[in-house]
């Protein structure tokens, strides 16, 4: 499929219900629907405010949303340069293998170049073999030597308790 048959664009506040649908589909796909806490109000307050915490690229075909990528800026002290953290990349199942994911990654590369960034980072589930193969095809290096670390709400509260 030619990339001209779909459009990659920045999401806007009118896309909130569409984003909610795509986020729900992604949560179902990843088997973590029980953890989904996003609401239209939360998306509005965090993505479409004066100082957005993240940004969304929307993939559309014939005016219908078929996928999205969320990202935010990061900073590498090793490079002394900004970069992009790709938080989510999701394409509806029936539109996979059509070049949509590649187009989203390429747009992220353009955004990273525009900010004179040094890299794009993200995580991928170790058992998501199709995604790993896709990312490697796009030129990504899968780094095995690091592990995701997370302080959840409970740990954060515990860390601030006196």
71 catalytic residue (yes or no): no
The SS3 assignment for 95 reads helix
Only one residue has tokens 């957005």, namely 52
Please, are residues 47 and 54 in contact by the beta-carbon 8 Å criterion?
yes
Q: What is the CB neighbour count within 10 angstroms for residue 61?
A: 16
153/157 Cα distance (integer angstroms):
6
Task: Please choose, from the candidates 41, 44, 66, 69, the residue with its C-alpha nearest in 3D space to the C-alpha of residue 55.
Answer: 69
Q: Which of 71, 90, 95, 135 is catalytic?
A: 135
The SS3 of residue 107 is helix
Which active-site residues does the annotation give? 135
């Amino acid at each position: 499929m030619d990339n001209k048959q779909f459009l990659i664009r920045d999401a806007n506040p009118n896309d909130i219900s569409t984003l909610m649908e795509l986020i729900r589909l992604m949560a179902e796909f990843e088997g973590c629907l029980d953890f989904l806490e996003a609401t239209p109000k939360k998306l509005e307050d965090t993505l479409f405010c004066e100082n957005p915490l993240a940004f969304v690229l929307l993939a559309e075909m014939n005016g219908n949303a078929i996928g999205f990528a969320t990202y935010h800026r990061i900073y590498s002290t090793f490079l002394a340069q900004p970069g992009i953290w790709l938080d989510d990349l999701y394409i509806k199942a029936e539109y996979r293998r059509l070049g949509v994911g590649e187009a989203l990654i390429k747009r992220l590369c353009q955004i990273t170049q525009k900010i004179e960034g040094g890299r794009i980072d993200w995580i991928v589930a170790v058992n998501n073999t199709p995604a790993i193969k896709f990312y490697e095809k796009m030129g990504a290096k899968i780094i095995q030597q690091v592990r995701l670390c997370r302080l959840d709400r409970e740990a954060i509260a515990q860390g601030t308790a006196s």
